[in-house]
């Protein structure tokens, strides 16, 4: 390392809290481009009246949600994926939050929409959106992960890219009314132990939620990342069930029924249960276990700069709390290095980690391993299969492996 | 209060950490709309392949940035405003972040863009975007406020709406490289005490920044709220100068020159200085003082629901740290109530506050007063005028007053 590189290395270690490798090797000491007058330096651009609601640069047109056509019979009951490999930090922009619908995007008129609370309550109530805005609100950042995220991986390395293997997740700041306040307003009767949440879409998506969770940290949310919910995310109002599988976060929320037992509807019996080897199914597997994935480098984001300073980064989350630590290995688990966490660490929210290294150009076997605030450690896929078999689609939080070859390309592989 | 309302009040106080008033008065016990089958319940919606990059509901078409034509001679050297009254929480969505340009929106090709560091350095360097991505990154949420935010208010209550009086601010999560690491890579010579940041737009916007700040917490940022910077916010790379006036956050950043003294360019002498009564000007007024504003109710967001439960909310920020406390008055300052803060409290980031009350339908004089982590208390506009006169355009952080009349409409007023 040159003196300046070493100086950056040492000072960086003191400040950034992690090894810092200078890019002196890649930065040029002279470059004609810097002296050229580019078009944007010579001509006036569009004014402040051109974009009332802004959009990304045309050079970012490749940063989009993508679906996999062969995965489902029809796009109206399907899923698309968040481009995790194109993002950084912990906030998912609203336009890139993955979608999962059972009957397409319901285009709800907020003026006509109503939320009803009925069943075992003292007073059945119906709320307009304006009514909901008169209750106290809170703001919380939470990840939403589909139970089927990484589901294809039960059968071994399948999809080539973290957008497809891990992109059924997003992380946004919600503004909403604590569900508990609305239930208290209606008055839950003594026998009321369960809640049925029903959506206003054509599938009338429904899920049973235990009263303990409903009274704990659930929200009836109307804003995401500061603005109104997007139509595909349940506009004008959705349920937020922190840390629990995404299908329970009922979108276009129209009804909350209080009952004395679970409803055992289709989406919680034939679907969203985990069939084990012995033919029995795990039911009510609501909580999302601690999980992580390296987003860069990855199959959709190869190393293009050759040897030298390399930034490895990814995301981690847990349905049980925070993720204080993530370890990274570059040799398939022979040696692990503690990654540097950067950005706010919040309950049941996504966390961002980095591991900086000098790449010598040799092939890498990249993995990340999350440890959450309960002490739970993310398991390998093989460990999960030993316990749950391979019949399941859901709750695969196993460690992901990317094989990076000498030319910087990465692919989805499994190692034992 | 009814029993259920009182129950909500007490439990809410324990949980939400603030007075909670039920909306029993407004929620209906029966409503035909809830039994009607709306169109979105009967027909399939668009599929997951319809919106690769999403957009807001058509019912939110009014939620946009707005400019004021008479404010500037031409929209290419002008400003538009964030619709604060339509937002909640603390994150500003990228499409609604206010814009200020001196020569319009530069449409930069990231493949052609370069960042040069020259002047009093050991080794002048030129970085491509790919080079920058090889340095360690950090993630931080910071507000950016234009020094001219609320500038019209020096002359008394002018613009009728918080979008116009306080909308030259946004708050996003940035991902970027600590500026210090890049300066260390080039090696700042002993005499290097100042930094000139230059933009690649047609105005070649430049500002002098003291080396202490540059080495402290400045970032060379390439992402906002997870995705690439928007063109109007400096795509592909901008300077982040936490807590300091927005014009120093040079967009489309192309050059950083190290020098032994400030450059005294136009934007830091004839502009962005504060002319006092005695004819002398305050210079280098970089830090943004603690400030707050009630966003709802406000002139653009009147009370439409009549008497009863009312949620008052707004935002607060300080260039010197966090805002642990905001007080709210509904009688023009005769009595103050401590507001409830909700959402993450981060250094030099926006904070959200709420004050819930039962409105009796009588006129209100609404004000909010921020207190930051240094103990600084937001002053009245009159207190500022006594010290600085009325010649200035910049750094008006005075307390804002909204007069709400009996029919719920609000207007911008001044009281002494």
Q: Residue A177 pLDDT more than 80? A: yes
Task: Name residue B312's beta-bridge partners.
Answer: B355
| Both structure tokens of B226 | 């997870």
Residue by residue, DSSP assigns A219-254 as EEEEEETTEEPPGGGTTT-EEE-TTB-GGGS-SSEE
ipTM over the 0.85 cut-off: yes
Task: Name residue B315's beta-bridge partners.
Answer: B293, B352
Asked if residue A269 and residue A211 are part of one domain, the reply reads yes
Tell me, rounded to whole angstroms, the distance of Cα A81 from its chain centroid: 10
Asked if residue B240 and residue B199 are part of one domain, the reply reads yes
Tell me, rounded to whole angstroms, the distance of Cα A18 from its chain centroid: 25
Task: Name residue A311's beta-bridge partners.
Answer: A356
Model confidence pLDDT, tens digit, residues A46-82: 999 999 999 999 999 999 999 999 999 999 999 999 9
Q: Assess if residue A236 is contained within a domain.
A: yes
Model confidence pLDDT, tens digit, residues B95-122: 999 999 999 999 999 999 999 999 999 9
CA distances B51 to A67, A199, B57, B116, Å, are 10, 21, 12, 38
Nearest CA in chain B to A307: B134
Whether residue A210 contacts residue A389, with contact meaning beta carbons closer than 8 Å, is answered with: no
Question: From the candidates A10, A11, A91, which should be mutated to test the interface with B, based on the most B CB atoms within 10 A?
Answer: A91
Q: Assess if residue A4 is contained within a domain.
A: no
What's A318's domain CATH number? 2.60.40.650
Distance (Å, whole) CA A194 – CA A16: 47
pLDDT category at B16 given cuts 50, 70, 90 is: very low
Partner-chain contact B104 A16, CB within 8 Å: no
Sign of CA dihedral B11, B12, B16, B17: negative
Judged by DSSP in three states, B126 sits in: strand
Nearest CA in chain B to A51: B65
Task: Please say which residue of B283, B309, B337 terminates a domain.
Answer: B283
Question: From the candidates A11, A134, A215, A349, which should be mutated to test the interface with B, based on the most B CB atoms within 10 A?
Answer: A134
Asked if residue B308 and residue B209 are part of one domain, the reply reads no
What are the helix and strand counts (H, E) for chain A?
8, 23
Whether residue B240 contacts residue B249, with contact meaning beta carbons closer than 8 Å, is answered with: yes
Distance (Å, whole) CA A14 – CA B266: 37
Asked if residue A252 and residue A344 are part of one domain, the reply reads no
Asked if residue A297 and residue A278 are part of one domain, the reply reads no
Residue predicted with more confidence, B11 or B377: B377
Residue predicted with more confidence, B84 or B27: B84
Q: Where are the alpha helices (DSSP H) in B229-380?
A: none
Q: Residue B289 pLDDT more than 70? A: yes
Q: Assess if residue B14 is contained within a domain.
A: no
Nearest CA in chain B to A110: B59
pLDDT category at A234 given cuts 50, 70, 90 is: very high
Partner-chain contact A76 B46, CB within 8 Å: yes
- Percent with pLDDT over 70 in chain B: 92
CA distances A109 to A99, A112, A114, A231, B38, Å, are 20, 5, 10, 10, 9
- Rounded mean pLDDT of B139-155? 96
Sign of CA dihedral A210, A215, A216, A222: positive
Partner-chain contact A139 B44, CB within 8 Å: no
* pLDDT in the model for residue A270: 86
Cβ burial, residue A206 (10 Å; 0-12/13-18/19+): middle
Question: From the candidates B1, B21, B48, which should be mutated to test the interface with A, based on the most A CB atoms within 10 A?
Answer: B48
Q: B253 to chain A nearest CA, in Å?
A: 12
pLDDT category at A416 given cuts 50, 70, 90 is: confident
* pLDDT in the model for residue A36: 72
Asked if residue B336 and residue B250 are part of one domain, the reply reads no
End-to-end CA distance of chain A: 36
- Rounded mean pLDDT of A171-179? 98
Model confidence pLDDT, tens digit, residues A91-148: 999 999 999 999 999 999 999 999 999 999 999 999 999 999 999 999 999 999 999 9
Residues of A in contact with B232 (CB under 8 A): 51, 54
Minimal CA–CA distance to A326: which of A351, A345, A300, A359?
A351
- Rounded mean pLDDT of B180-200? 97
Q: Assess if residue B221 is contained within a domain.
A: yes
Q: Assess if residue A301 is contained within a domain.
A: yes
| Both structure tokens of A210 | 């235990």
Whether residue A195 contacts residue A209, with contact meaning beta carbons closer than 8 Å, is answered with: yes
Asked if residue A344 and residue A273 are part of one domain, the reply reads no
Count of positions (residues) in chain A: 416
3-state helix, strand, coil in chain A (%, to 5): 20, 30, 50
Residues of B in contact with A187 (CB under 8 A): 4, 7
Q: What is the domain count for chain B?
A: 2
Q: Assess if residue B235 is contained within a domain.
A: yes
* pLDDT in the model for residue B312: 98
Task: Please say which residue of A235, A260, A283 terminates a domain.
Answer: A283
pLDDT category at A2 given cuts 50, 70, 90 is: very low
Residue A186 DSSP one-character state: H
pLDDT category at B270 given cuts 50, 70, 90 is: confident
What's A148's domain CATH number? 3.90.420.10
Q: Residue A26 pLDDT more than 90? A: no
Beta strands B115-119 and B253-259: pairing type? parallel
Q: Other C-beta atoms within 10 Å of B280: how many? A: 10
* pLDDT in the model for residue A354: 98
* pLDDT in the model for residue B26: 54
Residues of B in contact with A116 (CB under 8 A): 31, 34
* pLDDT in the model for residue B36: 73
Q: Assess if residue B15 is contained within a domain.
A: no
Asked if residue B332 and residue B205 are part of one domain, the reply reads no
pLDDT category at A281 given cuts 50, 70, 90 is: very high
* pLDDT in the model for residue A33: 54
Side-chain half-sphere CA neighbours of A10 within 13 A: 6
Strand order in the sheet with A401-404: A337-338, A325-329, A364-371, A401-404, A410-413
Distance (Å, whole) CA B408 – CA B303: 4
| Both structure tokens of B308 | 């009863």
Q: What angle do CA A400, A403, A409 make, to 5 degrees?
A: 125
* pLDDT in the model for residue A4: 41
Contacts of residue A241, defined as CB under 8 A and 6 or more positions apart, other chains included, come to A209, A213, A218, A248, A249, A286
Q: Other C-beta atoms within 10 Å of B374: how many? A: 11
| Domain encompassing residue A320 | 291-413
Asked if residue A116 and residue A154 are part of one domain, the reply reads yes
Whether residue A249 contacts residue A239, with contact meaning beta carbons closer than 8 Å, is answered with: yes
Whether residue A212 contacts residue A221, with contact meaning beta carbons closer than 8 Å, is answered with: no
Residue with tokens 């004819």: B279
Q: Residue B243 pLDDT more than 70? A: yes
Model confidence pLDDT, tens digit, residues A394-404: 999 999 999 99
Model confidence pLDDT, tens digit, residues A116-131: 999 999 999 999 999 9
Nearest CA in chain B to A315: B226
Partner-chain contact A226 B90, CB within 8 Å: yes
Partner-chain contact B228 A141, CB within 8 Å: no
| Both structure tokens of B38 | 């709306």
pLDDT category at B302 given cuts 50, 70, 90 is: very high
* pLDDT in the model for residue A22: 44
pLDDT category at B126 given cuts 50, 70, 90 is: very high
Residue with tokens 């493949």: B111
Buried b (16+ CB within 10 A) or exposed e, B212-232: ebbbebbbbbbbbbbbbbbbb
- Rounded mean pLDDT of B71-92? 96
Asked if residue A275 and residue A214 are part of one domain, the reply reads yes
Minimal CA–CA distance to B245: which of B165, B92, B142?
B142
Per the omega criterion (within 30 degrees of 0), is the bond before A379 cis?
no
Distance (Å, whole) CA B369 – CA B379: 8
| Arithmetic mean of pLDDT over chain B | 92
Structural Rg of chain B based on CA atoms: 24
pLDDT category at A29 given cuts 50, 70, 90 is: low
Q: Assess if residue B54 is contained within a domain.
A: no
Minimal CA–CA distance to A66: which of A85, A40, A48?
A85
Task: Please say which residue of A240, A261, A283 terminates a domain.
Answer: A283
Asked if residue A360 and residue A217 are part of one domain, the reply reads no
Whether residue A329 contacts residue A366, with contact meaning beta carbons closer than 8 Å, is answered with: yes
Nearest CA in chain A to B108: A40
Minimal CA–CA distance to B355: which of B375, B378, B331?
B331
Q: Which of A22-26, A310-314, B140-144, B329-333 has the lowest mean pLDDT?
A: A22-26
Residue predicted with more confidence, B93 or B35: B93
| Both structure tokens of A5 | 């590189």
pLDDT category at A319 given cuts 50, 70, 90 is: very high
Partner-chain contact A344 B344, CB within 8 Å: yes
Q: A388 to chain B nearest CA, in Å?
A: 30
Model confidence pLDDT, tens digit, residues A374-385: 999 999 999 999
Asked if residue A271 and residue A244 are part of one domain, the reply reads yes
């Amino acid at each position: 390392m040159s003196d300046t590189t070493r100086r950056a290395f040492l000072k960086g270690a003191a400040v950034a809290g992690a090894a810092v490798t200078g890019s002196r090797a890649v930065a040029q000491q002279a470059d004609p481009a810097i002296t050229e007058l580019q078009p944007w330096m010579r001509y006036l651009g569009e004014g402040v009246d051109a974009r009332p609601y802004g959009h990304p640069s045309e050079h970012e047109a490749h940063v989009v949600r993508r679906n996999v056509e062969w995965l489902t019979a029809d796009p109206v009951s399907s899923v698309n994926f968040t481009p995790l490999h194109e993002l950084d930090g912990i906030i998912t922009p609203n336009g890139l939050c993955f979608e999962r619908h059972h009957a397409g995007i319901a285009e709800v008129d907020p003026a006509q929409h109503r939320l009803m609370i009925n069943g075992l309550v003292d007073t059945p109530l119906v709320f307009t959106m304006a009514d909901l805005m008169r209750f106290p609100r809170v703001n919380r950042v939470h990840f939403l992960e589909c139970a089927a995220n990484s589901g294809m991986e039960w059968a071994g390395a399948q999809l080539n890219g973290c957008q497809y293997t891990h992109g059924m997740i997003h992380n946004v700041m919600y503004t909403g009314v604590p569900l508990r306040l609305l239930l208290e307003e209606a008055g839950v009767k003594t026998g009321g132990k369960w809640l049925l949440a029903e959506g206003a879409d054509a599938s009338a998506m429904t899920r049973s939620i235990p009263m303990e969770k409903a009274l704990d940290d659930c929200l009836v949310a109307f804003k995401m990342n500061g603005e109104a919910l997007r139509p595909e995310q349940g506009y004008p109002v959705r349920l937020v069930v922190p840390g629990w599988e995404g299908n329970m976060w009922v979108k276009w929320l129209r009804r909350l029924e209080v009952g004395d037992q679970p409803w055992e509807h289709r989406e919680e019996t034939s679907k969203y249960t985990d069939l084990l080897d012995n033919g029995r199914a795990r039911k009510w597997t609501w909580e999302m276990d601690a999980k992580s994935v390296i987003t860069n480098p990855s199959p959709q984001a190869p190393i293009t700069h050759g040897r030298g300073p390399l930034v490895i980064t990814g995301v981690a989350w847990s349905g049980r709390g925070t993720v204080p630590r993530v370890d990274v290995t570059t040799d398939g688990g022979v040696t692990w290095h503690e990654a540097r966490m950067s950005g706010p660490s919040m309950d049941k929210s996504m966390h961002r980690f980095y591991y900086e290294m000098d790449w010598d150009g040799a092939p890498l076997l990249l993995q990340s391993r999350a440890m959450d605030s309960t002490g739970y450690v993310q398991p390998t896929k093989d460990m999960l299969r030993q316990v749950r078999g391979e019949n399941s689609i859901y709750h695969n939080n196993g460690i992901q492996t990317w094989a990076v070859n000498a030319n910087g390309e990465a692919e989805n592989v499994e190692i034992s």
